[in-house]
Amino acid sequence: MRSLTSLIALLSCSTCLIFAQSTTDTGLGDIQDAITSYLGPSYAQVSGSATSDDPLPSEYATSNKKTFILSNDFEITDQTQIREYNFEIKAVTANPDGYERQIYTINGEFPGPLIECNTGDTIRVHVKNSLDIPQTIHWHGISQNGSNVMDGVPGITQCPIPPGQNFTYEFPIVQQYGTYWYHSHFANTMADGIAGPFIVHSPDDPVQRGRDYDNERVLLIQDWMHDQSTDIVAALKSADGYRGSPGAPKGDSILINDVGHASPDDPNWPEGVECNPPPRAEVPVIAGQRTRFRIINTGAHSMLRVSMDQHEFEVAEVDTDPVYGPTIHEIPVAPAQRYSIIVNATLGQAGDKFKLRVHVAAGCMDKVQQDTWAVLRYTNNNEEYDDKGEEPEDKPWDDLAAFDSPCRDLDDQYTLSPRVAIDANVKPLQTLSLSSKFGTFLGTQGQNITGFAFNNISFQNQIWDPVLPQIIDNGKYTNENVAQVVFDQDGYVDLILNNLDGGIDHPYHLHGNEFQLIKRGDGNLTVEEAQAMDLSNIVNPLRRDTIFIPGNAYAILRIRTDNPGVWALHCHIGWHLAVGKLATVIVRPQDMQKFKQPEDWKGLCAGQNSTQEGPARRSVAPTSAPVSHLRNPRDARSRDRSRKGSMRD
């Protein structure tokens, strides 16, 4: 073990290192390489300190400005190309908010590198897993039309990449553009840092650079934990729960562009550990110009409300769809949702600063106020300023939502009209439903499972025996470890999502497809009740891929079945996903039998125990390990080390 003094030395050092790649005075021209030439470290380099005796990896996370500041030099074109990336998933040390911990990264970068391309491009990502647990990467919002095998969901579309092995994801971007992101889909290890932005441009995007906005930024917001996700999930599965509760935890801090400000006054702050937060994130805009912010909530639990002092903004994109939206002062963003907002920097000149605020929507959590802010900085050309810690003046809008007001999606409060209008003007060919709730359910071995379920099936992840190859081979899936709805018609169908949890709201994400939001309502709905409604003439409904549904409420989603495949539908509160909240939407299985099964993809399953269950299961068998010591990070780390070997159980 390291001595306390060397730990403190490392704490302050990590602050400089995480900003090691910041530049002080340049515009972006010189740091923005052609994105195609962005290649990570060589595969020869073995990392993953995760099995080392040392409590923290010696390598520190780096922060890359290119991830947040999109270059106007990027050519938006219909000339397509292959974009190739090397991703090494590895453990490093980081201090994003004053608390130093081991995180998981792509190439040591936190957040992961930007993927930027045009519609029609082919994305090729060589992923090397240098952790000692399996991994997959999912490309959130990408339709994977014809490339279902690349969707990255362990136990559904693939066997995960075993520790030390590699796999190449390759897929074309078919007919779509907008704001996407990528993240780990293995248990909830996304919450340890494996996530990054994925931006698809198109000359067809009705929100045009140069006409509708001048500059483009990525704004990543998320809640952040001080414990490793594997420890948190293990505790959630135990009789004692995590921090005394089976419920998803509130964040220890909130990060804006991966910088936060934890407080040692927080009741969960470990005693005797110094809190040494990095400087607030600087979010540069160019004075006098309009900036399109592509906001992505990459967090594991909290809906977050974003505002900028004195600046109103126009909502121009929802998930991936350009919209005519309202001009407002604050926007709620649920986990995994994306919004583009356009902000005019017309209230000052280079050097001026304002607070960019992120408030936790605590009405659907613990009703405890939790806020953070970054510096919205006026610049000439993205140059950096040093204020010696002087804060921007407090000038919040006076109509911001109360922290404990109900959590509601933006479409529940304002009209959002897709700019590419598509009416829902047909009668659905099929209507099916998925009802989800927390409870105790019967497992495949006759055991009782406590956790979340869809249609009374709590997902038991057979990670080494995935669903997709079975449908390709047999035309159907017969195991009862995961709920399924099967749409075999070619046309438009309706999916009812009932959230039967009285007090718990959830963000639901459908892979592979965006849906038209046909109807929301209170209570629950049966298929018969939906079929009795007239839902065949709805003018240009909102389309998106992640929808927030309050407790005791439902939504009807219309899906065009033009993308055959097995598509995960799950809660994007990662802590809920990790305890069973995933179902499958199987589209035209008869047309999946022509899918190719690449050799290297099949090879990921080779030599594994196909009956062994993955980590997404909660059993009622109480674990003996007391969880109170999670409050002590040093213990948590050594425990983490000793438990890792069992992660594949």
Ligand X SMILES: *[C@@H]1O[C@H](CO)[C@@H](O)[C@H](O)[C@H]1NC(C)=O
Rule CB under 6 A: which residues touch ligand X? 43, 128, 143, 145-146, 165-166, 174-175, 290, 312-314, 327, 342, 344, 435, 446-448, 455-456, 500, 523-524, 562-563, 609, 611-612
Under the criterion CB under 5 A, does residue 334 sit at the interface with Cu ion?
no
Question: Toward ligand X, which CB reaches closer, 128 or 637?
Answer: 128
Other CB atoms within a 10 A radius of the CB of residue 448 amount to 12
Instruction: Name which position in 106, 336, 573, 636 contacts Cu ion (CB under 5 A).
Output: 573
Give the count of alpha carbons within 13 A of 321, CB side only. 23
d(CA 150, CA 144): 7
- Contact segment (CB under 5 A) with Cu ion among 319-327, 382-390, 474-482, 506-514 equals 506-514
Question: Toward Cu ion, which CB reaches closer, 571 or 630?
Answer: 571
Under the criterion CB under 5 A, does residue 509 sit at the interface with Cu ion?
no
Instruction: Name which position in 128, 140, 237, 506 contacts Cu ion (CB under 5 A).
Output: 506
Q: What are phi and psi of 641, to 5 degrees?
A: -55, -50
d(CA 89, CA 305): 30
Question: Toward Cu ion, which CB reaches closer, 221 or 569?
Answer: 569
- Contact segment (CB under 5 A) with Cu ion among 90-98, 224-232, 544-552, 569-577 equals 569-577
* Binding partner of 524, given Cu ion, ligand X, none, CB within 5-8 angstroms per partner class: ligand X
Question: Toward ligand X, which CB reaches closer, 352 or 384?
Answer: 352
Question: Toward ligand X, which CB reaches closer, 242 or 293?
Answer: 293
- State in angstroms the smallest separation of the CB of 437 from ligand X: 7
Instruction: Please report, for residues 281, 355, 424, 570, the alpha-carbon distance to residue 287 in angstroms, rounded to integers and kept in the order given.
Output: 18, 15, 42, 41
Give the count of alpha carbons within 13 A of 222, CB side only. 28
Instruction: Please report, for residues 76, 89, 126, 230, 618, the alpha-carbon distance to residue 164 in angstroms, rounded to integers and kept in the order given.
Output: 37, 10, 13, 19, 27
* Binding partner of 448, given ligand X, Cu ion, none, CB within 5-8 angstroms per partner class: ligand X
Interface characters, 576-605, with Cu ion (x: CB under 5 A)? x-----------------------------
d(CA 36, CA 560): 33
Find the helix or strand (DSSP H, E) in which 9 lies. Answer: helix 4-18
Find the helix or strand (DSSP H, E) in which 236 lies. Answer: helix 229-237
Under the criterion CB under 5 A, does residue 341 sit at the interface with Cu ion?
no
* Binding partner of 612, given ligand X, Cu ion, none, CB within 5-8 angstroms per partner class: ligand X
Map residue 326 onto helix, strand or coil.
coil
d(CA 485, CA 110): 37
- State in angstroms the smallest separation of the CB of 248 from Cu ion: 7
Q: Which amino acid is at 293?
A: F
Hey, what are 590's tokens? 């008869």
- State in angstroms the smallest separation of the CB of 123 from ligand X: 15
* Binding partner of 143, given Cu ion, ligand X, none, CB within 5-8 angstroms per partner class: ligand X
Q: What are phi and psi of 440, to 5 degrees?
A: -110, 130
* Binding partner of 174, given Cu ion, ligand X, none, CB within 5-8 angstroms per partner class: ligand X
Q: Which amino acid is at 536?
A: S
Under the criterion CB under 5 A, does residue 133 sit at the interface with Cu ion?
no
Map residue 644 onto helix, strand or coil.
helix
Catalog residues that contact Cu ion under the rule CB under 5 A.
506, 571, 573, 576
